[in-house]
């Protein structure tokens, strides 16, 4: 079902789906087929719910930032606990409804989502990972790390597909950039060493 999301691929909520599917399979004395039957629609539905929650929490972070500026630690804690309680209630509600009404109820909710809602949530789910990567890279990314990033990203992007000429050129360019940077570092080290020797002779 996808334990991690790669690139813009939206991650299914395998925690909720797997837990509920296993619980139903054990309670009914059936096998893995029943667990998958119950778990898959729940995972899809909770992925949509998670997308909505993460979008809503971005607004809560603005409130938390304002409380930090006001040096209101109580307000920051309040925002933190509020988000936690909302997440707990969301998971508890869907888990309770499924165990009480059965898998057909949740499957009907998933199938009953209008096309515009599914498309919009999928679009938000595709943007959020890119936004997260951008925020992380803006903090830790250095120009010297870009070739390594490309070399790691290209093979992952082509998993299950034949690598195109674009991917091959990107990897080759990254390798050339790494070699160029290493040679520059070695040359700088040699120049520095020669400069130190000259300084010693002058002394």
Question: Between residues 103 and 116, which one has the greater pLDDT?
Answer: 116
Q: Which domain holds residue 47?
A: 1-141
**Three-class secondary structure of residue 8 per DSSP:** coil
Is there a single domain that holds both residue 76 and residue 5?
A: yes
Is there a single domain that holds both residue 113 and residue 150?
A: no
Statement: residue 144 has pLDDT above 60: yes
Mean pLDDT of 99-107: 65
Domain end call among 118, 141, 164: 141
Specify the pLDDT at position 146: 84
Specify the pLDDT at position 1: 40
Is there a single domain that holds both residue 126 and residue 41?
A: yes
Token readout for 33 is: 């087929």
Specify the pLDDT at position 184: 82
Question: Between residues 64 and 100, which one has the greater pLDDT?
Answer: 64
Return the closest-CA partner of residue 124 out of 58, 190, 31.
58
Helical segments of 30-114, H only: 32-69, 73-101, 103-112
Specify the pLDDT at position 8: 47
Least confident of 33-42, 75-84, 123-132: 123-132
Specify the pLDDT at position 2: 46
Give the number of domains in the chain. 2
Question: Between residues 55 and 187, which one has the greater pLDDT?
Answer: 55
Question: Between residues 43 and 154, which one has the greater pLDDT?
Answer: 154
Is there a single domain that holds both residue 35 and residue 114?
A: yes
Mean pLDDT of 37-42: 71
Statement: residue 200 has pLDDT above 60: no
Contact 154, 170 (CB under 8 A): yes
Burial profile 91-129: b = 16 or more Cβ within 10 angstroms, e = fewer: beebbeebeeeebeebbebeeeeeeeeeeebeebbeebb
Instruction: Determine how many CB atoms are found less than 10 A away from the CB of residue 151.
Output: 17
Domain end call among 141, 169, 190: 141
Contact 94, 106 (CB under 8 A): yes
Distinct helix (H) and strand (E) counts, the chain: 7, 0
Statement: residue 167 has pLDDT above 70: yes
Helix (H), strand (E) at residue 147: helix 146-157
Using 50, 70 and 90 to split pLDDT, how confident is the model at 85? very high
């Amino acid at each position: 079902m996808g334990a991690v999301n790669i690139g813009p691929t939206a991650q299914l909520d395998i925690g909720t789906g797997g837990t509920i599917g296993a619980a139903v399979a054990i309670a009914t004395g059936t096998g893995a087929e029943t667990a998958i039957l119950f778990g898959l629609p729940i995972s899809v539905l909770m992925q949509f719910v998670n997308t909505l929650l993460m979008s809503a929490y971005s607004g809560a972070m603005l409130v938390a930032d304002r409380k930090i500026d006001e040096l209101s630690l109580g307000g920051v804690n309040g925002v933190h606990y509020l988000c936690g309680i909302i997440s707990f209630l969301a998971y508890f509600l869907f888990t309770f409804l499924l165990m009480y009404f059965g898998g057909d109820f949740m499957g009907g909710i998933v199938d009953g989502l209008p096309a515009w809602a599914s498309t919009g949530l999928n679009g938000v789910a595709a943007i959020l990972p890119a936004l997260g990567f951008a925020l992380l890279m803006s903090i830790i990314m250095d120009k010297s790390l870009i070739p390594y990033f490309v070399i790691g990203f290209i093979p992952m992007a082509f998993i299950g597909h034949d690598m195109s000429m674009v991917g091959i050129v990107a990897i080759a360019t990254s390798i050339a950039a790494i070699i160029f940077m290493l040679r520059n570092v070695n040359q700088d080290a040699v120049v520095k060493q020669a400069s130190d020797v000259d300084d010693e002779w002058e002394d």
